[in-house]
Amino acid sequence: ALLLSSSISSAGAGEALFSIGTDGTPNQLGSLQATASILLWNHGKKALVVDRGGSQIWKIDDPGGSATMTLLASDADGVASPAGAALSRDGKSLWIANTGNNAVLGIDLSTRASFSLPCGFDMTTLVPLSDGTSFRLNDLSNGPVWILDASPGVDPRVVFIPAIQRATAVAEAAQ
């Protein structure tokens, strides 16, 4: 399965989201304002699509087949110009990197209860890490790496890993 977001027109009228099946046939799933990310999970059987311009998070079931879209969260839930989103390992919680209010939004999908974790840095993404309970919130660069720790049994928190100085920079500073 392949998901593709493409500009509708050069006038900035938004984007169309397509699913391309194994036979190569395109299927337009819907219209978005500005896609920030598309995250496949469950071996490509599901996807999350983050519409930054529309402040919406969409779930797509069976993107390579019947490809049905379901709205998981929107501005009514507190979504504000999201840079990325991911589901918890058990699929019960939705995590969203909101750049519009500089906070991580957590939504319990069964109760719709939500909470917000303020962040004092620029979030650029929300990428699940291999443990399934931690998520990277910024691009890898020369600065610190910010992580959402949503481990079971503890309150979610945002932590950072300090930047590692390169040996040449340290040697130059010592001179």
pTM across the whole model: 0.84
* Number of other residues whose CB lies within 10 A of the CB of residue 104: 23
Residues 6+ apart with CB under 8 A from 64: 1, 2, 19, 21, 22, 44
**110-167 confidence digits (pLDDT tens):** 999 999 999 999 999 999 999 989 999 999 887 899 999 999 888 999 999 998 765 5
Q: What share of the chain is helix, strand, coil (3-state, %, to 5)?
A: 5, 45, 45
